[in-house]
Structure 1
């Protein structure tokens, strides 16, 4: 915006400067036109019957040729022999006085009377034509004014147009890329919310982020941040729930385990895993208090980067589902969830950097994320649990080119045999989903471990078994001295001394 306003100001200033210059030149031109030679005054033929008589005005009449010694009062006096018919002498006198005054005002001086002796021989004077009424001066030409005005107006209009174009072009630069992902079968595609620019190469360490406290939930502290991902270029909301133990004095030096939870679709403006009806936070509080669950710090990011009104305008909102992936040309949600969110949480809260202390949980589309991320980012997670989540990528956002989507299919990632543990839960009525989960488990090869479960009723009924699985397979990190040795799992981050919970 600042660039646009600057360009517009420069264009407008230049236009007015040139307009002022052209107006100045036009004024000079009009002045030269006014000061030019005046048309000769000639008596119209037939106006007068006699010619004027020029009578010398002498100081003293003399008969000889002796030079005069006394100055004359005037060089000569020209009087008409008779005035034109119908013209009053007073009118001529007023005309002459007005003419002399105009002439004096234009040149800034007055005529002075002659200061020397003048002799005039009346016989040698040539009679002058009687001066008739001064002809009306021709009207000043308006052509220079019209030219100057036209050029000035044209330049100002051009300057305004250039400034407007500069504003429009720079505006796009000041606001960033807001290109919407193509929505299949719709005339208008929803666009991701404004995001930060992606950064390539090494980045400076990220400092603590300014999370806003939203109060107490189930005995713990809920916080919120709109995070601008440095690597993904995605800007989206993130909620972090701190267990009651986080603020206890005895836990001031503890590095807490992390449970990343992913929402059902679309997951915009909220995370379904934090809803009271799901019961996740309440179950965690009870399990932590009883000792059956580690004191998880819960991280709940938005599932998609869209606005709710954009999704509501579509006939089928799932047509722009990013499926927790970096789809070419679309928001890089996989990078945002696993790189940017992890970085921000680790820089702000006392959480473990050991991948053995990080787990995943999700329902529906979020369940697909939990399974896919555990297999794709094994360096960051030890285990995952999916509640009625699919096992195949089907979004229309994927390009038609073969191999682009296939490489990120959960089955393809499973074939790489990452050292993770996966829990797949479905309702008893979802026959096809249970069959897919069974086939997925059969395809798993060590060290990958896949477990299946079935529960009747709503998704929330599957939650207790999923939390038990995560409690067994996610490490509860403890404080260790710098000199102590530790065994860590393969992946990024430092190790933490701990034992796997039974």
Structure 2
């Protein structure tokens, strides 16, 4: 049973309940001062606390999608298989390995509800391999639009994150489907994955000297692979990018560094400089240029202002990035032709509930700022 299995969570909860009841039932019998009785009390208390802690941890992981598997949890996920699509019309290093419905089970055909496809993609130049989910809107399958191309956006989780959380927890496909159906945004292809392309390392979307070329993967290889397989708009700035937390930082950086690819970038609860800690290791290897480019503050002050649109979000109460976000907005205002927008909530923590409140407006904003030919 997998880490995110409902059965594992139910088993942990049941174990906690049974151990608690057993402790209450057996406590009088273990009230003596013998070594056996003392060890029995310690054992019951320890087992109960472990079971309760496990249940709470599993429930939190289910809600926030921190880890996708036991190997991911214990830092043993390091496999990076190379997948090349040999099917007719594939044309690139991308393979569809699964499919799921956007709406609840039995609720529609692709031309009505769209589809989410699970893919494996490998970068042509970086050789980075990563799983992802691709949302295709209903129009993609409709005969009247069979020659139509669509705007596309990369959607990134935080660290460590799971790509499935973007589908199930943050509900990007369902939200995009509903907004487009209501005429509030254009039909759009979403490519959903986590920024952790070299697990368990957090590369912060940096081209690490002598290491994973993560920025190049997202800015060059991923759009190239997706465009070779799906009907994606062409032209300058025809892609968007959005993410939360670490993914938000990556989204802003990608849009600022690569405006020829990303016409817009949205950072939900983003930060503005790459941290270095035990999860990242030495990202820069003494390379000052790489370290400078990882700081959005440095980029705003020292590089030509990119012709792209940026969106940042925070809350006055509950987010630690509020002051930095206000400062970032003020700096971007002075850097034409870069354009800046924001979503500032009165209150909201660094969590899925807050981001779900921001995603509809973010997708509407993104839809109106991605260029290219359709």
Distance 2:291 2:156 in 1: 21
SS of the equivalent of 1:356 reads: coil
Distance 1:355 1:239 in 2: 24
1:459 correspondence with 2:355: yes
Distance 2:298 2:265 in 1: 17
Distance 1:436 1:406, change over 3 A: same
Distance 1:293 1:189 in 2: 39
Residue among 232, 235, 250 paired with 2:144: 250
CA contact (8 A) 2:235 2:372 kept: no
The Cα of 1:470 is off from its aligned counterpart by: 1.1
1:429 correspondence with 2:314: no
Residue among 449, 454, 459 paired with 2:339: 449
1:193 correspondence with 2:83: no
Rg: which structure is higher? 1
The Cα of 1:462 is off from its aligned counterpart by: 1.6
The Cα of 1:425 is off from its aligned counterpart by: 0.5
The 5-angstrom pairing of residues 463-482 of structure 1 reads 463-475=359-371, 477-478=373-374
Partner in structure 2 of residue 291 of structure 1: 183
Partner in structure 2 of residue 168 of structure 1: none
CA contact (8 A) 1:358 1:474 kept: yes
Structure scoring higher RCO (CA < 8 A, sep ≥ 6) equals 2
Distance 1:189 1:224 in 2: 23
Q: TM-score, normalised by structure 1?
A: 0.50
Distance 1:290 1:211, change over 3 A: same
Distance 2:133 2:305 in 1: 32
Distance 1:461 1:425 in 2: 11
SS of the equivalent of 1:211 reads: strand
Distance 1:330 1:280, change over 3 A: same
Higher helix share: 2
The Cα of 1:289 is off from its aligned counterpart by: 1.0
What are the Cα deviations for residues 300-358 of structure 1, in whole angstroms up to 9, with x where unaligned? 13321345xxx4xxxxxxxx310011111322111212222111111111111223331
Distance 1:294 1:330 in 2: 38
Higher strand share: 2
Partner in structure 1 of residue 118 of structure 2: 224
The Cα of 1:298 is off from its aligned counterpart by: 0.6
1:339 correspondence with 2:220: yes
Gaps of 5+ in 1: 1-187, 198-204, 312-319, 479-502
Distance 2:258 2:234 in 1: 14
| Corresponding residue pairs, total | 271
The Cα of 1:384 is off from its aligned counterpart by: 1.2
Gaps of 5+ in 2: 1-73, 84-89, 104-112, 349-353
Residue among 250, 253, 259 paired with 1:372: 253
Residue among 123, 131, 150 paired with 1:237: 131
CA contact (8 A) 1:357 1:382 kept: yes
Residue among 236, 243, 260 paired with 1:355: 236
Partner in structure 2 of residue 330 of structure 1: 211
Distance 2:233 2:290 in 1: 34
SS of the equivalent of 1:424 reads: strand
Distance 2:289 2:372 in 1: 39
Partner in structure 2 of residue 214 of structure 1: 99
